[in-house]
Amino acid sequence: MLFNSFEFLLFFPIVVCVYFVIPRRIRYVWLLIASYCFYMSWSVKYALLLLFSTVITWLSGLSLDSINRTGRIFGCGGGVLADASLKQKVTKRKAVVAVSLLINLGILAFFKYFDFILNNINVTLSVFSIEPFEKPFDLLLPVGISFYTFQALSYTIDVYRGDVDAESNLFKYALFVSFFPQLVAGPIERSKNLLVQVEHVSRSDLWDLDRITRGVILMIWGYFMKMVVADRAAILVNVVYGDHLIYGSCELILATVLFGVQIICDFAGYSTIAIGAAKVMGFELMENFNTPYLATSVQDFWRRWHISLSTWFRDYLYFPLGGSRCSKAKHYRNIMIVFLVSGLWHGAAWTFVVWGFLHGAYQVVGDILRRPKNALWARLGVRTEAFSWILGKVMVTFMLVNIAWIFFRATSLQQGLDICWSMLASWDPWTLFDGSIFRLGLSEMEMGILVASIVVLALIDGVRFVKGQNIADFLMEQNLWFRWVVCIGLIVAVYVFGIYGPSFTPSQFIYFQF
Amino acid sequence: MATRFGRSMMKSGTKVVAFVVICLLVLLGVSTPLTVKNRDMDSADLSKMQAEDSIDVLFVGPSRIYTNINTGILWDEWGIASYDLAGGSQPLWSTYYYLKDALEHQHPSVVLLDVYFATLADEYVNHGAIVNNTFGGLGIINKIENKVVSSPEADLADYLAEFPIYHSRYSDLSREDFLPYRGIKDRTAWKGYDVYAQCQPLEQDPDVSGVSATAPIASKTLEYLEKIIELTHEEGVPLVLFCAPFDISAEQQQIYNSVAKIAAANGIPFLNFNLSFDELGVSYVGEETDFLDEEHLNYRGATKLTNWLGSWLKEHYDIPDRRDDVAYSSWQVDADNIRAQIQDIELTKVSDMSEWLQEVTREPRLTLVLIVKGDTTGKSEGAAADILQPYGIDLAEMKDGAIFVMRDGAVVYEASGESASWSGEVWNDAIVASTSKIQFGSATYQAPDDSTTALLYDDLTGRLVQVVSWAFAETGSGQVVRAG
């Protein structure tokens, strides 16, 4: 079930009410049942896959723990015997991690990349006029597989590294993997954050109106972002990208910028609802977005965008590859590997690879040019701490990110390239003033609502940027009447201007396809 | 400490409840202008407002009921207190729930069901028809059951909640959405009949008299036809099935032949007017036909059908004459309104200015705003001047135009000159006139040069009748002025 569905609006209050009423020690059991019911609303058989992945990684944690303890019994003292035992332990532990990685990533690769690999093999074969392979079966990508696989694998690696103890209770561990607010689209949680909290909620009195209110405010804000902003922007984006050849530069630029708005509001909206829902139940999930479009560089962008994924790649791929503590060439290689893999993680298509490539290339080129640039600015006497300079950096970063979004949104490489070309070649600024932009799926009134809602978004992000507070924390500092006016205003905005109902095609969250 | 905790819990609980209540009130306030409003909603809502056991004859069915059955004639001729409870494209399952709901508060002498949609073979009607036939003011249980039966499973939640359907109407909001019953005058007295003037001619009238075969009625439609029969039987209310005339096909007649069998098996009269075009005197042929379109009668056809039905009902059922009962005054208001609308339609067909003015000035309910545009100096002779003279209007002195307002045959306001103007409040609107144009509400009517332009407003119905213009020299043929 989607967050923006009747089913969830019924499901969540029921789950929460029971959660607060039942004895503390069985809260996690109730949440586990609820989480599996949540997931099974998509597919019962893919819930078995989730269970399988859960059991494998749980067993891997227990195995690693068992190996550790076995070594401790016999490994006291020094000597050749202790060294051999230690080497054996390390080998066994590595083997356990390798098996866990292989199985889980294998499942992910199978469901996600089988068609992509087959298609590319067939394209290659057709070049040599060899008969292509037939597709033996149709595969449906299990919802959220990329997210829960990464979350489960992070546990295996964390246990291996000794960052967390293995969890002996399968049900508590299963809840960590399947916790419904963040199951299908993140944030990708770490065991040292979420698993610990599973234990905490089993013991604590969770009734705290202040915390629950903050959670509800975050949910309301998430719904506003998704249903008023993201889904409205999507209407224009779909019209233009659906028929890109007939549109000129201005329409394509507008659609691409609005796609940037759509994707942040869609994804951050989902994350905000997830964080809010978890908070209501006493869980603190990690922040996933922090005003990414106010980044002053692409590197800074990735510290603010999909933080849970970028930190996952940092901790489990970038650092093991050597990170930046190596030669420049290897450093750049590591960056490119991480972003190419990140691109592929987002989707099994060359457009996502190009998107990842661009982000990697931006950072490599940015790093190469950093010293000469700084020298040039110093020579020219540019005030790099001035607001105007920072604003310029923000705008350039925004532009670079939007160029990459073209490929993220395009349905093929050809379309992406066509759009890039048309943006440069079909320049007709009059389309901005002759009413053409109101014939792209959004009427004048709808465009006005979109602009107004983006202004509201910018205000809230501004508060976040300046005060470091999210909307819930900010409102909780205000007087009751103001808080109520804002909350009721947002609820009314979602109720009236939300994109839902038979007039609109129900739109899933973008990141569900991952 | 427990008391402090208890007080704290109470304070928290009060805040939560207060927030939820305020939020719901705001949402309710916001929803009111957004909800779907049309005559189909009015039909269901107002049927519940009728006094208990006040309706003597209840007509149910699709839109053909509200175009074909003139409740005003039934009242004027026989004092019959009737009600047209109908919805556009209403399938029989919705008719069943409408009827069931109505019979909880009414016990009419007879119920008449137009079985036009006995031909419906689909499981569900279109989205608009589902909304129009399930959002109206039925009791909660009947409303829910109606929605469950009417909606595809995938969309049921949307139809049950309703706001997913109407929340997006913000882009279509007009002043009407903020007025009770869309600002229609005396709507609470309305008994469901709407006057339609349009004509649909065809080359010939259909003839299905030779069709004797039957065709099966679709299972869902049949189920609810039988439920309607059973319901009226259980409630002890006589039922009459009928099918008003329309551009019927042989296939449709086969279905109605099946209906005739069911009616006969249940001892229910079935009046198929498609076999009685001549008897009714209705026809698709000619300039002024009796039909609005392929499915509906216009006001002329409705008059003929209603007169026939009224006589038949009085002959076959014991229906009281309520004309002397003050509790039934709303039926009189409704009848007066319908009569006025029909008279207004007839008025619009009069093209000659002199004849038109004579008719208009006879009716005290009509307000006439006349603007004279152009230099009429010295034009004391001529068609327009002669026609207006008897009303005390002398065009000879009107060099730069003039405005006249007439009520009950007399001029109640006059002004001349370029800057002459007049404004008057009417039901939910205002009329503003200058010597070059007339504004009615948000519509503006530009007066042609050298002409007399008239805006005719009916104070009884609260409606604009027409805006028509005659050139000074050609008063025999009026030209309708469109808003621009």
Contact criterion met (CB below 8 Å) for A278 and A179 = yes
Tell me the mean pLDDT in the region B130-147.
94
ipTM of the complex: 0.85
Residues 6 or more apart in contact with residue A131 via CB below 8 angstroms: A125
- Mutation target vs B (from A488, A495, A499, A507; most B CBs, 10 A cutoff): A495
Residue B17 forms contact with A (CB below 8 Å): no
* CB-CB neighbours of B346 under 10 Å: 12
Tokens of A400: 């670079």
Residue B169 forms contact with A (CB below 8 Å): no
Residues 6 or more apart in contact with residue B284 via CB below 8 angstroms: B200, B201, B202, B204, B205, B206, B247, B290, B291
CA atoms within 13 A on the CB side of B39: 19
d(CA B285, CA B349): 19
* Contact check, Cβ <8 Å, A495/B163: yes
Alpha-carbon distance values, B479 to B196, B436, B482 (Å) = 21, 16, 9
Q: Give backbone dihedrals phi and psi of A16, rounded to 5 degrees, phi first.
A: -65, -45
The average confidence (pLDDT) of chain B is 92
d(CA B164, nearest CA chain A) in Å:
4
Residue A484 forms contact with B (CB below 8 Å): yes
Residues 6 or more apart in contact with residue A73 via CB below 8 angstroms: none
Q: Beta strands B110-114 and B57-61: pairing type? A: parallel
In this prediction, residue A507 carries a pLDDT of 47
Residues of A in contact with B152 (CB under 8 A): none
Tell me the mean pLDDT in the region B55-84.
97
Q: Please state whether the peptide bond connecting residue B216 to the residue before it is cis, i.e. omega within 30 degrees of 0.
A: no
* Contact check, Cβ <8 Å, B15/A503: no
* Contact check, Cβ <8 Å, B158/A443: no
Contact criterion met (CB below 8 Å) for A7 and A41 = yes
Please list the alpha-helical segments (H only) found in A162-248.
170-178, 180-183, 191-201, 209-223, 231-242
Q: What angle do CA B428, B431, B437 make, to 5 degrees?
A: 145
Contact criterion met (CB below 8 Å) for B423 and B431 = yes
Q: Which member of B15, B16, B158 has the closest CB to residue A502?
A: B158
The H or E element containing residue B424 is strand B421-426
Alpha-carbon distance values, B167 to B33, B146, B158 (Å) = 10, 21, 11
Contact criterion met (CB below 8 Å) for B460 and B336 = yes
Of all residues in chain B, the one with the smallest CA distance to A443 is B171
CA atoms within 13 A on the CB side of B429: 21
* CB-CB neighbours of A154 under 10 Å: 23
Tell me the mean pLDDT in the region B428-452.
91
Taking alpha carbons only, the member of B344, B452, B446, B431 closest to residue B389 is B452
d(CA B128, CA B149): 15
Residues 6 or more apart in contact with residue A420 via CB below 8 angstroms: A403, A406
* Contact check, Cβ <8 Å, B167/A504: no
Residue B323 forms contact with A (CB below 8 Å): no
In this prediction, residue B392 carries a pLDDT of 83
d(CA B131, nearest CA chain A) in Å:
11
Contact criterion met (CB below 8 Å) for A471 and A304 = no
Q: What angle do CA B321, B322, B325 make, to 5 degrees?
A: 145
In this prediction, residue A83 carries a pLDDT of 67
Q: Which member of A496, A498, A500 has the closest CB to residue B30?
A: A496
* Contact check, Cβ <8 Å, B16/A209: yes
CB pairs under 8 A between A and B: 47
Taking alpha carbons only, the member of A225, A222, A214 closest to residue A279 is A214
Spatial strand order in the sheet of B110-114: B82-86, B57-61, B110-114, B239-243, B270-272
- Mutation target vs A (from B12, B156, B177; most A CBs, 10 A cutoff): B12
Alpha-carbon distance values, A295 to A260, A291, A396, A399, A401 (Å) = 14, 7, 10, 11, 10
Residue A210 forms contact with B (CB below 8 Å): no
d(CA B305, CA A65): 90
* Tens digits of pLDDT across chain A (514 residues): 888 888 899 999 999 999 999 999 899 999 999 999 999 998 888 899 999 999 999 999 999 988 877 655 444 445 555 666 788 888 888 999 999 999 999 999 888 888 888 888 888 888 888 888 877 766 777 888 889 999 999 999 999 998 999 999 999 999 999 999 998 888 999 998 999 899 888 888 888 899 999 999 999 999 999 999 999 999 999 999 999 999 989 999 999 999 999 999 999 999 999 999 999 999 999 999 999 999 999 999 999 999 999 999 999 999 999 998 889 999 999 999 999 999 999 888 999 999 999 999 999 999 999 999 999 999 999 888 899 999 999 999 999 999 999 999 999 999 999 999 999 888 888 888 888 889 999 999 999 999 999 999 999 999 988 888 999 999 999 999 999 999 999 999 999 999 998 765 444 555 555 5
Residue A496 forms contact with B (CB below 8 Å): yes
Please list the alpha-helical segments (H only) found in B105-247.
127-134, 140-150, 156-161, 163-166, 219-235
Alpha-carbon distance values, A173 to A100, A114, A279, B128, B136 (Å) = 15, 29, 19, 50, 51
Residues of A involved in catalysis: 346
For residues A273 and B397, the model is more confident at A273
Residue B171 forms contact with A (CB below 8 Å): yes
On the question of pLDDT at B2 being above 80, the answer is no
Q: What angle do CA B356, B359, B362 make, to 5 degrees?
A: 145
Tokens of A435: 């009413």
Helix/strand/coil for A489: helix
In this prediction, residue A76 carries a pLDDT of 47
d(CA A7, nearest CA chain B) in Å:
9
CA atoms within 13 A on the CB side of B291: 25
What tens digit of pLDDT does each residue of A494-508 get?
Answer: 999 999 987 654 445
Taking alpha carbons only, the member of A384, A367, A290 closest to residue A332 is A367
Taking alpha carbons only, the member of A365, A362, A307, A317 closest to residue A344 is A317
Alpha-carbon distance values, B1 to A422, B8, B325 (Å) = 72, 10, 70
In this prediction, residue B400 carries a pLDDT of 81
The average confidence (pLDDT) of chain A is 90
Q: Which member of A6, A443, A488 has the closest CB to residue B157?
A: A6
Q: Which member of B127, B161, B167 has the closest CB to residue A496?
A: B167
Residue B243 forms contact with A (CB below 8 Å): no
Taking alpha carbons only, the member of B475, B297, B299 closest to residue B395 is B475
d(CA B260, nearest CA chain A) in Å:
39
Taking alpha carbons only, the member of A194, A177, A214, A189 closest to residue A39 is A177
d(CA B126, nearest CA chain A) in Å:
12
d(CA B468, CA B481): 5
d(CA B428, nearest CA chain A) in Å:
27
Contact criterion met (CB below 8 Å) for A178 and A50 = yes
Tokens of B326: 């003050």
